[in-house]
């Protein structure tokens, strides 16, 4: 299959090298485009007010891989590859392997997930892969699982367009308990801003948030599908299907009558020239 791979940890990250080289060795046609430096927690940001540059690189990845390094964000990378660099669209867009988990509400900030989501927005199925550790350097089990996952999708294609958010526990292969289908959980952080003084005497702030707790709600305890946060703690690989449509369905039901009432009141104000 033809694969486009990006990340948010930058061109020199071990995670993307392990993923790209493993998939190329498995016989896939692999293209890589990734940021020229770390772009973690950039979300779905795009570069709009300055040029984006992309240069070919040849010495970092497997010799059969075509690779570019890009000055933009993870989303810039995928958008540029699909819109300008590749002659034909890939079968899949992959992002990662991220150094650190992307669980629960982390995905709202994640450059890794956003790069993969860019593929879905262009009509291409996508996978975001993250190793649930900032210290472990063993990305090979995650890369091997990505190979297995793609092979399974090749044999059983889905008509559903989605982003599959995959988190792999940072343990040896023998310690992984299995694979669990999960839903997005909730994580809460304490955001601490450290106040510092630069050499010129000016004040600046450094965000140093720390994970306070993984939240389990009453709904979590009665749902048949467990959360990604809960299952990663039990050493399961978590598979969470995501979409870019953030419409809140229960909110639509709640606001249905209220919006009709507001619409009527607004029209009265317009008719009375009060608006």
- Helix (H/G/I), strand (E/B), else coil: 173: helix
DSSP 8-state symbol, 183: B
Tens digits of residue pLDDT in 86-97: 999 999 999 999
In this predicted structure, which of 6-15, 45-54, 98-107, 185-194 has the lowest mean pLDDT?
Answer: 185-194
* Of 96, 93, 94, 107, residue with least CA distance to 41: 107
Residue bearing the bigger pLDDT, 274 or 49: 49
Q: Is the pLDDT of residue 23 over 90?
A: yes
Q: Supply the mean pLDDT for the chain.
A: 91
The first and second tokens of residue 196, run together, are 């510092």
The first and second tokens of residue 43, run together, are 């979300």
* pLDDT at residue number 192: 74
pTM of the model: 0.89
- pLDDT band, very low/low/confident/very high, at 189 (cuts 50, 70, 90): low
User: For residues 46 and 109, what is the distance between their CA atoms, to the nearest angstrom?
Assistant: 13
* pLDDT at residue number 220: 58
**Whose structure tokens read 């430096």?**
37
* pLDDT at residue number 174: 87
- pLDDT band, very low/low/confident/very high, at 142 (cuts 50, 70, 90): very high
* pLDDT at residue number 34: 97
- pLDDT band, very low/low/confident/very high, at 222 (cuts 50, 70, 90): low
* pLDDT at residue number 41: 87
DSSP 8-state symbol, 81: I
The first and second tokens of residue 190, run together, are 């304490």
* pLDDT at residue number 271: 86
Q: Is the pLDDT of residue 238 over 90?
A: yes
Q: Is the pLDDT of residue 217 over 70?
A: no
Tell me if 256 sits within 8 A of 212, measured CB to CB.
no
* Count of helix runs (H) and strand runs (E) in the chain: 7, 13
In this predicted structure, which of 27-41, 80-94, 150-164, 180-194 has the lowest mean pLDDT?
Answer: 180-194
Alpha-carbon dihedral sign for residues 245, 248, 250, 251? negative
Q: Is the pLDDT of residue 214 over 80?
A: no
- pLDDT band, very low/low/confident/very high, at 216 (cuts 50, 70, 90): low
In this predicted structure, which of 45-59, 140-154, 260-274 has the lowest mean pLDDT?
Answer: 260-274
Q: What percent of the chain has pLDDT over 90?
A: 73
User: For residues 187 and 102, what is the distance between their CA atoms, to the nearest angstrom?
Assistant: 10
Q: Which range in 159-163, 166-170, 257-261 is most confidently predicted, on average pLDDT?
A: 166-170
* pLDDT at residue number 47: 94
DSSP 8-state symbol, 227: B
Integer-rounded Cα Rg, in Å, for the chain is: 21
């Amino acid at each position: 299959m033809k694969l486009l791979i990006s990340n948010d940890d930058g061109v020199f990250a071990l995670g993307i090298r392990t993923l790209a080289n493993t998939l190329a060795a498995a016989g896939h046609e692999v293209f890589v485009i990734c940021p020229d430096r770390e772009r973690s927690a950039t979300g779905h940001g795009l570069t709009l007010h300055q040029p984006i540059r992309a240069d070919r690189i040849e010495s970092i990845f497997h010799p059969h891989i075509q690779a570019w390094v890009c000055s933009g964000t993870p989303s810039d990378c995928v958008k540029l590859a699909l819109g300008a660099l590749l002659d034909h669209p890939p079968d899949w867009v992959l992002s990662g392997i991220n150094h650190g988990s992307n669980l629960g509400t982390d995905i709202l900030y994640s450059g890794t997930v956003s790069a993969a989501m860019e593929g879905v927005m262009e009509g291409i199925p996508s996978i975001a892969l993250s190793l649930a550790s900032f210290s472990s350097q063993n990305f090979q089990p995650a890369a091997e699982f990505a190979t297995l996952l793609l092979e399974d999708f090749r044999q059983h294609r889905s008509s559903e367009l989605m982003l599959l958010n995959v988190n792999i526990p940072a343990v040896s292969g023998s310690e992984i308990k299995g694979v669990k289908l999960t839903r997005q959980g909730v994580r809460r952080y304490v955001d601490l801003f450290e106040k510092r003084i630069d050499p010129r005497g000016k004040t600046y702030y450094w965000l140093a948030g720390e994970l306070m707790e993984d939240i389990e709600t009453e709904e979590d305890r009665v749902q048949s599908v467990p959360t990604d946060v809960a299952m990663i703690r039990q050493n399961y690989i978590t598979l969470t299907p995501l979409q870019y449509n953030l419409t809140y369905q229960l909110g639509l039901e709640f606001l249905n009558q209220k919006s009709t009432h507001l619409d009527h009141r607004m029209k009265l104000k317009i008719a009375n020239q009060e608006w």
